[in-house]
Amino acid sequence: MNRPRLIVAITGASGAVYGVRLLQHLRASGVAETHLVMSASGVMTAQQELDLRRADIEALADVVHNVKDIGATIASGSFRSAGMVVAPCSMKTLAGIAHGLADNLVTRAADVVLKERRKLVLVARETPLNLAHLRNMTAVTEMGGIVFPPVPAFYTRPDSLDELVDHTVGRLLDLFDLPHQGLVKRWEGMARAGADGAARTDRF
């Protein structure tokens, strides 16, 4: 492969912006070949939250797969990839992956990534969490997956929602060792104290 392949799934949880912004950055940088699959609920959520149609999102990907197409390339272990990101990951999708249901292309592709010991990252978007959610997260983690709730990093002192989203997207790209610029403000240690000896807290 000239470029690593990354499978990107968007499912029906709040936070469609994470999957869309990930696709936008990968399209702009060209560092990876993206294979997109969206659930019907993921399409509806993107419409509700971002005013984006299915076609708008599909245009950001290199290859698009139908969620019902269990015979797609990404449903086979012979399809080589760097792994898969589900962003956002609904609790239904989390449960399907945790229990190996493989009942649509999202859960099937995730199952394949796990069995091939490739990287699976689930941007799990729900709060608060009930015991079923937590147990499913544990099951996925025990299988080698990474549960990645999009928790904001306030130590960066963000000026906008865009900065918060970009930071999360940058951290996702870090997990796959995919290069990016300007998305993540790297931790450089605690801020220096002000003249009065107190830590700076002027932003909040």
How confident is the model over 89-122, as pLDDT tens digits?
999 999 999 999 999 999 999 999 999 999 999 9
Report the SS3 class of residue 82: coil
Structure tokens, 73: 């390339």
Structure tokens, 101: 């249901």
Report the SS3 class of residue 91: helix
Report the SS3 class of residue 57: helix
> 9 pairs with which residues across the strands?
37, 86
Report yes or no on whether pTM surpasses 0.85: yes
Q: Which helix (H) or strand (E) holds 76?
A: none
Question: Residue-wise over 74-102: b if at least 16 C-beta within 10 A, else e?
Answer: bbeeebebbbbbbbbbbbebbbbbbeeeb
How confident is the model over 78-88, as pLDDT tens digits?
999 999 999 99
Cβ atoms of 18 and 150 within 8 Å: the answer is yes
